[in-house]
Structure 1
Amino acid sequence: MSTSLLQSISDRLPALSRSERAVAEYVLQHREEVTRMTLAAVSRAAGVSEPTVIRFCASMGFAGFRGFRLEMARFLALGVPTTHSAIEESDALPTIITKIFDHTISSLDHTRRSFDPDSVARAIALIEAADRLHFFGFGASSIIAEDAEQKAALFGKPCSALADPHQQFMTAATADTGDLFVLVSHTGRTVPLSTIASEARANGAHVITITASSTGPLIDASDVAIVTATLEDTDVYTPTISRIAALVVIDILATTTAMKGEHVNLARLRGMKQKLAAFRSTLDPGSAPE
């Protein structure tokens, strides 16, 4: 299945009959046990008839309970399953902690399994060819841009992360073939960023987009799109999981450029890191960064 099995069940809940919903809720709450249960055992545990369990499986696109059970086992074997329910006001602290960790870990695993290495390879080629890198984003995405700017030593060339939209546009309007813009947008539909991308390319610069969306105006205005598909709970988690996935992409780009590129002197980079460690020890303990 192209999406998380548990996410699919959760999404279909409102459309299920009351008895089928009872099966769905039992499956979501006892996912591991279900992989070891018989049809009769599931029907008893959910308080419904065996035909109801079979109808539920059919509603989820399976020919029968056996096929559904095998798919559940396969899905769980791939990694930590996504938390199926939103955080409730009645949830205890340990439950909230577990839900957030499970949802984040499984969402990152989903991103990894749907990731396209070819898009990263094309992005790295553009980074290698550029003279200057500009990392732009709005809101939570601007934090990702700032993280990328901090990795300038790994990229081996000047990096900027302007936060002001006017300055971002002015940079794009005065760009040339030596500039590369890396634009971060979860939705891929941030209109000002699309305008900046179009302006940059009109002046001969190249554009890389990091986004969770596989379509949209920002992708259309980019040379390369790195898609970080996540299992978002957009009511609560939109700025969280997508940001973590994008930060991982920045780490991949920076690390690969440093290890494989021609513009980074690794010996000098290691020396800088050693000097930085020594410098930190000279700082006032109260102000030393972690």
Structure 2
Amino acid sequence: MTPSLLQRIADIRSDAPATRRAILDLILEDPDRVLEESFEQLAERSRSSVPTIMRTCRDLGFAGLREFKLALAQELALGGSPLHRRVNIEDAADEVVGKIARSAAASVSGVRGQLDMQVLDGAVAAIAAAPHVDLYGAGATSWFMANDLQARLFRLGLSANAWADYHLQQVAGAAQRPGGVVIAISHVGGMPSLLDAVDIARGQGAKVVALTRPGTALAAKADFLLGLSVPDDAVMHVGIDAYLTHLTVIEILTVLVAQRRGEPAVQRLQRAREAFQRHGIDATTHPLQSWDGGGVNDGGSAS
């Protein structure tokens, strides 16, 4: 049986020079990401050069990166299983754990290379200065992301609301004004009702920060596009790669907005943490609350 392309890569890896071995390791770690990268991006990640990428492709029998990508794409389309794009149906448990963990780690580590720092800085500045921020999510996963980011921005002292209902998204868009910001989160980026709400908000003068894939209808409407390309999931329409990369960007936005807003935001976060530790569900132990002001309820009746 003719060995697969990935098997051939694994076979030549141990004897390859160090610079080419780094390239082969990246291919084996996340072949789907390599499909979306240019010569320059792959060279930067592997700390090598474009000529070294070319020589590595020729070692595998291809004229260049384009021909290699075509062969790799064909193999990935036929490989894996309905369970996960990198898992074979007969894999043992330790193999499943390793493959999924490596795939998830590669997705998160790929966020840095996909974000445009100038666009990110513009988005952070707009959010930090906004009189009000609306967050729209289309679908269960994107709604969770919007709700999570709303809670984070609220703790920083921003006026922010997350909207799941499509009609209310449009109502919120109509209530926006110049200086306001809409953060629209959708991996698919093509939900008509979401796009309508974004158009309404833009018509009111709001800026749009979009967390979606490049090339989507939502991406085309964004003032600040935080574009993330992730491999398709074998099970869910929006899978773990999109989930993890979006969560990573949400954490990045939270920290950068907090930095931009300065000491008042830091103090709010500290006060919230202290309050939760004293009274909230974050406390390991806390006294039973009494509404009569008499301290801990000892089971007796109020006088």
TM-score with structure 2 setting the length: 0.67
**Deviation of the 1:233 alpha carbon:** 3.3
**Deviation of the 1:262 alpha carbon:** 5.1
Aligned partners of 2:62, 2:199: CA distance in 1, in Å? 47
Q: How does 1:18-167 map to 2 (within 5 A)?
A: 19=2, 22=3, 24-30=5-11, 32-33=13-14, 35=16, 56-58=60-62, 60-61=64-65, 86-139=86-139, 140-167=141-168
Q: How does 1:97-246 map to 2 (within 5 A)?
A: 97-139=97-139, 140-211=141-212, 213-230=213-230, 232-236=231-235, 238-246=238-246
Q: One-letter code of the match for 1:278?
A: R
Residues 169-227 of structure 1: CA distance to partner in whole angstroms, max 9, x if unpaired? Answer: 1111222224311001112222222111111101111111011x222221222211111
Instruction: Give the 3-state SS of the residue equivalent to 1:256 in structure 2.
Output: helix
Query: 2:116·2:226 contact (CA, 8 Å) conserved in 1?
Result: yes
Q: Which moved more, 1:274-283 or 1:116-125?
A: 274-283
Aligned partners of 1:205, 1:59: CA distance in 2, in Å? 49
Alpha-carbon spacing, 1:23–1:62, altered in 2? closer, same or farther (3 Å): farther
Aligned partners of 1:110, 1:258: CA distance in 2, in Å? 23
**Deviation of the 1:114 alpha carbon:** 2.7
Aligned partners of 1:191, 1:261: CA distance in 2, in Å? 34
**Deviation of the 1:32 alpha carbon:** 4.3
Alpha-carbon spacing, 1:220–1:85, altered in 2? closer, same or farther (3 Å): closer
Q: What's 2:255 paired with?
A: 255
Q: How does 1:260-275 map to 2 (within 5 A)?
A: 260-261=260-261, 264-275=264-275
Query: 2:183·2:211 contact (CA, 8 Å) conserved in 1?
Result: yes
Query: 2:210·2:219 contact (CA, 8 Å) conserved in 1?
Result: yes
Residues 109-163 of structure 1: CA distance to partner in whole angstroms, max 9, x if unpaired? Answer: 2222232111110101111221111111122111111110121345421221121
Instruction: Give the 3-state SS of the residue equivalent to 1:264 in structure 2.
Output: helix
Q: One-letter code of the match for 1:126?
A: A
Aligned partners of 1:156, 1:220: CA distance in 2, in Å? 30
Q: One-letter code of the match for 1:235?
A: A
Q: What's 2:76 paired with?
A: none
**Deviation of the 1:166 alpha carbon:** 1.3
TM-score with structure 1 setting the length: 0.69
Residues 33-55 of structure 1: CA distance to partner in whole angstroms, max 9, x if unpaired? Answer: 25369xxxxxxxxxxxxxxx968
Alpha-carbon spacing, 1:123–1:106, altered in 2? closer, same or farther (3 Å): same
Unaligned runs of 5+ in 1: 1-17, 38-52, 64-83, 286-290
Aligned partners of 2:189, 2:12: CA distance in 1, in Å? 34
Aligned partners of 2:177, 2:58: CA distance in 1, in Å? 62
Query: 2:219·2:227 contact (CA, 8 Å) conserved in 1?
Result: no
Query: 1:154·1:255 contact (CA, 8 Å) conserved in 2?
Result: no
Alpha-carbon spacing, 1:268–1:200, altered in 2? closer, same or farther (3 Å): closer
Aligned partners of 1:204, 1:136: CA distance in 2, in Å? 17
Alpha-carbon spacing, 1:275–1:219, altered in 2? closer, same or farther (3 Å): same
Alpha-carbon spacing, 1:254–1:270, altered in 2? closer, same or farther (3 Å): same
Query: 1:156·1:258 contact (CA, 8 Å) conserved in 2?
Result: no
Residues 225-270 of structure 1: CA distance to partner in whole angstroms, max 9, x if unpaired? Answer: 111233x133236321112111111111111111222583423431
Query: 1:181·1:205 contact (CA, 8 Å) conserved in 2?
Result: yes
Instruction: Give the 3-state SS of the residue equivalent to 2:61 in structure 1.
Output: helix
Cα RMSD over matched residues?
3.1
Q: What's 1:66 paired with?
A: none
Aligned partners of 2:287, 2:191: CA distance in 1, in Å? 42
- Among all aligned residue pairs of Structure 1 and Structure 2, give the percentage whose two residues are the same amino acid: 21
Instruction: Give the 3-state SS of the residue equivalent to 2:225 in structure 1.
Output: strand
